[in-house]
Amino acid sequence: MNVLINEAKLQKRIQQMAKEIESEYQGKQIVFLGILKGSVPFLWELAKNIRNDIRFEFIEVSSYEGTESTGNIKINKDITHNITGKDVIIVEDIVDTGRTLSFLKQYLLEKQPNSLKIATLLSKPSRRVIEIGVDYIGFEIEDKFVVGFGLDYDQQYRNLPYVGYIE
């Protein structure tokens, strides 16, 4: 396993993102809507550095993929509280093609939140198929398959404290 982003770098960058969110939301309540399972470490690192009243919601999705991902996304576990009128930030581990977030954004907008933003720890801009506006990006990375800090390879490696890649 090779280290791409070590623990100290992750922590430092996430703390900066937290400050940015804190100053933009000025004491408002925020709903962190985490996409299971990969977003959990990032969501927690971000949330614990923000002093606003933060509520947690989680959603789990999976995409039916044949050889190429089709964008047919299924909700396995839905949110449990109403987000109508709330200030929501979708929290994701990585934006790759953009299909998951594009689907989720549409789905969640139908519930009429007061605002809806997106925060992702990682982004692979060269892989984007659907252009999607991402409000907070931790790190832009090249087209490499990464694991750790929530990200998995076949459900493995999520608990690594850093972001790494396998040769």
Active site residues: 96
Instruction: Answer yes or no: are the C-beta atoms of 36 and 64 closer than 8 Å.
Output: no
- Report what 99 binds from Mg ion, ligand IMP, none; CB cut-off 5-8 Å by kind: ligand IMP
- Report what 89 binds from Mg ion, ligand IMP, none; CB cut-off 5-8 Å by kind: none
- Can you read off the two tokens belonging to residue 33? 């809507």
Burial of 24 (C-beta count, 10 Å sphere; 0-12/13-18/19+): middle
**Residue 38 lies near Mg ion (rule: CB under 5 A):** yes
Q: From the CB of 167, what's the least distance to Mg ion, in Å?
A: 23
Please identify which residue in 83, 93, 113, 148 interacts with ligand IMP, judged by CB under 6 A: 93
Please identify which residue in 21, 90, 100, 123 interacts with ligand IMP, judged by CB under 6 A: 100
Peptide bond into 19 cis (omega under 30): no
Neighbour-count burial for 84-99, b at 16+ CB within 10 Å, e otherwise: eebbbbbbbbbbbbbb
Residue closer to Mg ion by CB (options 38, 164) is 38
Please identify which residue in 10, 14, 30, 38 interacts with ligand IMP, judged by CB under 6 A: 38
Name the residues that contact Mg ion, by CB under 5 A: 38
